[in-house]
Amino acid sequence: MAILKIVKFGDPMLRKVARPVEEITPRIKTLIDDMIQTMRAAGGCGLAAPQVGILRRIAVIEVEEGKVYELINPKIIAFAGEQTESEGCLSNPGAYGITKRPRAVTVRATDRNGNEYELRGTDLLARAICHECDHLDGKLYTDVQIRPLED
């Protein structure tokens, strides 16, 4: 496994729409492992492939230590409620903003073994799912930011 370089705000890569994963190859599985290691090393709770320079629809999320969600070709299929909280991004270290996101979301994705599944998340997990899915569509948390978080 390797720690990958995280693309920073301002890089055009972050504004591109990622392409679907057509086949889960050993290379895709290695990328997922590297993304998990990179996310953990950077102290984050989520990371999308475009953030490491790969335009594929892959994201990893870990809001509870040791419980990693690997999302290949994720699609949010339902959402409910609302939460307004502080949000940051590994591609914009040290900056935070207040954003409005759904309180609960359900996402359909594929795991590394090719199995389709649905994940329902609330609160921080819902926020992380939305944040990472946005990255796959070239959107940043600043696009949904209500206001910057002041120190």
The predicted-structure confidence for 61-89, as pLDDT tens digits, reads as follows: 999 999 999 999 999 999 999 999 999 99
DSSP secondary structure letter of residue 75: E
Domain boundaries defined on the chain = 12-148
pLDDT cut 90: percent of the chain above it: 94
Mean pLDDT of 18-44: 98
pTM recorded for the entire structure: 0.95
Report residue 1 as tokens: 């496994």
Cβ neighbors of 54 (< 8 A, separation 6 or more) are: 18, 31
Active-site positions read 132
User: Looking at domain 12-148, what is its CATH homologous superfamily?
Assistant: Peptide deformylase (3.90.45.10)
When the pLDDT of each residue in the chain is averaged and rounded to a whole number, the result is: 96
The pLDDT of residue 151: 55
